[in-house]
Amino acid sequence: MSDSVIRWGILGTGGIAATFAGDLPRVPGAELAAVGSRTLAAAEAFARTHGFARAHGSWAELAADPEVDVVYVATPHSFHLPAALACLAGGKAVLCEKPMTLDLASTARLVQEARGQGLFLMEAMWMRCNPAIRKMVELIADGALGEVTTVHADFGLQGPFDAGHRLRNPALGGGALLDLGVYPINLAHLVLGTPATVTSWAHLTPEGVDDNTAVVLGYASGAVATLTCSLIGETRNAASITGTLGRIDLPSGFFAPQSFTLHRSDTTELFEFPFEGRGYQFEAEEVQRCLVAGTLESPLMPHDTTLEIMTLMDTVRNEVGVFYPPVEA
């Protein structure tokens, strides 16, 4: 690894891996080094499509590749733990797709392993690296809204998804909460921190995962966050943050916005942050910044924040009755 070039590996060849790979060339200094999959054919096809130099037919081979500095783990949720552990065992820095794992205990294990080995680890919550979101956080910290009183956010997909889809498969960490609800929860946490109370309700599929979920977070300050996620209807996928002095509206696609609007009593101001691609380049840039600086976690998505979010999602899952089969690492 040098100050100018970071050599990336991608573990997984699915949709999210392809999206990330599509944005990676937009990152200065990013080298598309290698891709790993459980089959060499899949890895080779992905490498050809996205311009990676090498393909590996196993996770272990990718983790052992001496020409890779950092691995983006892009498997389904239930494979995050063993995949990330394999990469850490190979001495690689890891950017692990959200949610980090299926539960708090597994996430804590990954954090402990990374810290013990002195390796960089970050959950790929790209929303927190987005320029518009970072500016929004700065404005709120500077008092643009006064004291924050409410956060509203929703994320829903149209569906329906058939019974064989990964979003309905408990063995793959299915359900609305882990795929979609993680964004509204992260937004509320970003603005208000850890809540004092958590109340939730969900409708479950025949397979036992949530497909329509609501979460209300209460805070010692008196603030409240109302959050929903759904696999059965496309909601606005928008968010608003209200304070004693004004309101910020995030448009549809609030998790990767290119703009937001600040409303105050006598003014309305539009903040615009246009970019090309899907917006995954910003988390890759943050990873590279940290690696060059020699830091083991990002201040935009520190380990403690990942652990707090996983604690909240464990609490919600326990309340609504969603349980996943144990994962072998």
CATH number, domain of 156, equals 3.30.360.10
- Tell me how many domains the chain contains: 2
Indicate whether 237 belongs to any domain.
Answer: yes
The domain containing residue 154 runs over which residues?
Answer: 131-272+310-320
Indicate whether 155 belongs to any domain.
Answer: yes
The tens digit of pLDDT for each residue in 223-252 reads 999 999 999 999 999 999 999 999 999 999
Q: 218 and 143, same structural domain?
A: yes
* 98 classed as catalytic: yes
Indicate whether 326 belongs to any domain.
Answer: no
Q: 316 and 189, same structural domain?
A: yes
CATH number at residue 72: 3.40.50.720
Q: Which amino acid is at 125?
A: M
Q: 315 and 176, same structural domain?
A: yes
92, 98, 128, 317: the active-site residue: 98
Query: Pairing state of beta strands 148-156 and 224-230?
Result: parallel
Q: 55 and 14, same structural domain?
A: yes
- Report the pLDDT value the prediction gives residue 109, as an integer from 0 to 100: 97
Cα separation of 56 and 86, whole Å?
14
The tokens for 115 are 């810290």
- Report the pLDDT value the prediction gives residue 3, as an integer from 0 to 100: 58
Indicate whether 96 belongs to any domain.
Answer: yes
Task: Record the pTM.
Answer: 0.96
Low-confidence ranges of the chain (pLDDT < 50): none
Cα separation of 268 and 265, whole Å?
8
- Report the pLDDT value the prediction gives residue 328, as an integer from 0 to 100: 79
- Report the pLDDT value the prediction gives residue 329, as an integer from 0 to 100: 73
- Report the pLDDT value the prediction gives residue 4, as an integer from 0 to 100: 81
Q: 187 and 98, same structural domain?
A: no
